[in-house]
Structure 1
Amino acid sequence: MTSKKYLIICVFWLITFYAGAQNRLPIIDMHLHAFSMDEIPSGTPACPGDQNILVPTFDPGEELDFSKSFNCSNPIFAAKDDLDLRNKTLSALKKHNIRRAMTEGPVEIVTDWSKAEGGEVILPGVAFGKRQEKSIEELKRLHANGQLAVLGEVYIQYRGHRPDNPRYEPYFALAEELDIPVGIHLGEGPPAAARFPGYEEYRASMGSPFLLEDVLRKHTKLRIYVMHYGSPLVDEMISMMFTHPNLYVDISCNNWSFPRAQFYDALKQMIDAGFEKRIMFGSDQMYWPDAIGEAIKSIDEAPFLNDEQKRDIFYNNAARFLRLSEEEIAKDHGH
């Protein structure tokens, strides 16, 4: 091949690539984080896609060594610092035409990210269920200031607590009063969570979707979505969605960091059960900006999803859940 022909092919490929990115229909990411890189070392690898590497296997007498679990052929890498994390994440949102992203983290960091992107994409989320919750009065103030659009991520499982623990009742009541959604973590924590430093309170048994039953019965107007669809307890999740029409799920993290066969099996099970209108896209991007593209790829490549189902997952279901107006939806689509 002559150099001229090679150059023409390269230019054609680049034009096609960028045109495709610009022509992608809008996406809503219901699970994004604005964290500080103080939490993990710069450049920490993660293994996305269908590499089937997740949980370290080791002798119980040995110290936990996560380096053995990241020996994959195509890793992605954590950002260098806070600024790099912000800029690369916002760049990924723009690249993939993500028009709205439920973003949880320290309020000051979420506010900084929102200002950096222009204040149109970031839907600010505020967590509860950590060791020290914000007061109800403080949450009301944040909501009044436009700094609280979603109450979540709810980290109750990481405390080893049930969602119907009386200490959390005022928070669910507040979300119903303010008519804002709640996003609660139910599902796997970090790999080997029982040995993971800082996660000693996490309990797998507190991830059952059935533990939400009393909350949903008491707060019938509450919009709530289960992050990670209560994985791997898909049968329980299906039972709960069948019973409670105000209950949705997101598919975050499982769509890029879990074995693809396991994720597809769970997603197809929910689709086959008739819940294609209540499954929402999320990335759960924490420290790895490339995770956003990997999460999108998992839906693009799902062989059992038709185009309408993909659009529902990527955008339509979240637009309904968030009660976006016709004008807002039209703007997201560039009309």
Structure 2
Amino acid sequence: MLRIVLLVAAAVATPAAFGAEAPHGGPVIDMHVHAFTMAEVPPGAPACPGDQAVVMPTVDPAQDLDFSAMGACARPLLAPPDDAGLRDGTITALRRHDVRRAMLEGPVERVAEWREAAPGLFLPGVAFGARKEPSIDELRRLHAAGRLAVLGEAYIQYRGQRPDDPRYDPYFSLAEELDIPVAIHMGEGPPATARFPGYEDYRAAMGSPFLLEAVLRKHPKLRIYVMHYGSPLVDEMIAMMFAYPNLYVDVACNDWAMPRAQFHDALRRMVDAGFAKRILFGTDQMYWPDAVGEAIESIEAAPFLDAGQKRDILYGNAARFLRLSEAEIAADHAPARR
């Protein structure tokens, strides 16, 4: 989860890109959505689409870092007023942009609440690698009850730990046994992560895709996708995808919050390396529902992608990764009910 909170993204969005409806011409699967509460951000907190460079603070290390001085957008995305607004705004944004399925991670009961509000839209995810771990027995019960479809997000990097730490092997083993996907965070945290309150355990080095090698060798049948594609370590991710055909990536948050030139460069490199069929779309929607449209637009705007590659990234790759049936795919392509 690339947490960008409270004025930490300070790019100025171009009017043409801001809030644009993406004419993507087909259904979308979002592999990365969160059922959060508004406890961490105030109503109206802005976040900025990344068409221009994110302004990073440069300070004397003897000084405290003033996050409120990191800049503001000319036309920001704004957080909703309350928890209900976040839930309903996210559901509305997903439906507006023809997202037919979305992997939803958050507290188990909150995920259930969101699923009840939008039947058939969300695939339930359950996190691990956080400070309070779900037990393997609990995960088995959730799976048996239809409340666990994806094991993740795995927050291991935010704890400053390696994914091949033995304490996490039971989770990978369970996912392989149950044949459910694993979603693991490997990539950036908030800007100035080392000084960001609440993220003291995060380590950039623990985002190296090479740290997954022992996991993938031990669990060759594991379906796993790396959230944020291990950004910015694209060459390492390409090497791992070349060696391990069960390894996929998502482009969530990087596709709307990071500088557009940086994101497109990374996406093009993975496509040019031959992995256009293993790139999954995601938004990492946290507190800003309008990020859904911004993320889709970033794929549509990529000049190096042809129409088939855009459809694969927005839908086809995830449909194959999730092993959707022909009937499910046909239903996703039927006219949406508004």
- Check whether the contact 2:35–2:106 (CA below 8 A) recurs between aligned residues: yes
Task: Give 1:299's aligned amino acid.
Answer: I
Say whether 1:60 aligns with 2:61: yes
Measured after TM superposition, the shift of residue 297 of structure 1 is 0.8
Provide the residue aligned with 2:243 in structure 1: 243
Percent of residue pairs identical: 69
Say whether 1:116 aligns with 2:117: yes
Measured after TM superposition, the shift of residue 60 of structure 1 is 2.0
**1:284-299 to 2 correspondences below 5 Å:** 284-299=284-299
Measured after TM superposition, the shift of residue 295 of structure 1 is 0.5
- Check whether the contact 1:47–1:70 (CA below 8 A) recurs between aligned residues: no
Provide the residue aligned with 1:14 in structure 2: none
Say whether 1:71 aligns with 2:46: no
Say whether 1:152 aligns with 2:152: yes
Q: 1:315 to 1:54 in 2, by over 3 A?
A: farther
Task: Give 1:110's aligned amino acid.
Answer: V
- Check whether the contact 1:35–1:287 (CA below 8 A) recurs between aligned residues: yes
Unmatched runs of 5 consecutive residues or more in structure 2: 1-20
Name segments (4+ residues, structure 1) moved above 3 Å: 20-24
Q: Secondary structure at the match of 2:213?
A: helix
Q: Secondary structure at the match of 1:124?
A: strand
Provide the residue aligned with 1:139 in structure 2: 139
1:46-73 Cα offsets, whole Å, 9 max, x none, are 1113021253333322222222334222
Measured after TM superposition, the shift of residue 23 of structure 1 is 8.2
Q: 1:54 to 1:86 in 2, by over 3 A?
A: farther
Say how many residue pairs are matched: 317
Aligned-pair RMSD on alpha carbons? 1.6
- Check whether the contact 2:183–2:226 (CA below 8 A) recurs between aligned residues: yes
Measured after TM superposition, the shift of residue 250 of structure 1 is 0.2
1:97-140 Cα offsets, whole Å, 9 max, x none, are 1000001000111100000012x010010000001100000001
Provide the residue aligned with 1:276 in structure 2: 276
Measured after TM superposition, the shift of residue 21 of structure 1 is 7.5
- Check whether the contact 1:21–1:95 (CA below 8 A) recurs between aligned residues: no
Q: Secondary structure at the match of 1:37?
A: coil
Task: Give 1:29's aligned amino acid.
Answer: D
**1:74-113 to 2 correspondences below 5 Å:** 74-113=75-114
Q: 1:22 to 1:49 in 2, by over 3 A?
A: closer
Distance in 1 between residues matched to 2:189 and 2:112, nearest whole Å: 26
Q: 1:22 to 1:313 in 2, by over 3 A?
A: closer
Provide the residue aligned with 1:304 in structure 2: 304
Compare CA radii of gyration and give the structure with the larger one: 1
Q: Secondary structure at the match of 1:67?
A: helix
Task: Give 2:90's aligned amino acid.
Answer: T
Unmatched runs of 5 consecutive residues or more in structure 1: 1-19
Q: Give the TM-score of the pair, scaled to structure 1.
A: 0.92
**1:179-198 to 2 correspondences below 5 Å:** 179-198=179-198
- Check whether the contact 1:53–1:70 (CA below 8 A) recurs between aligned residues: no
Deviates more, 1:315-324 or 1:39-48: 39-48
Q: 1:298 to 1:158 in 2, by over 3 A?
A: same
Q: Secondary structure at the match of 1:73?
A: coil
Task: Give 1:121's aligned amino acid.
Answer: L
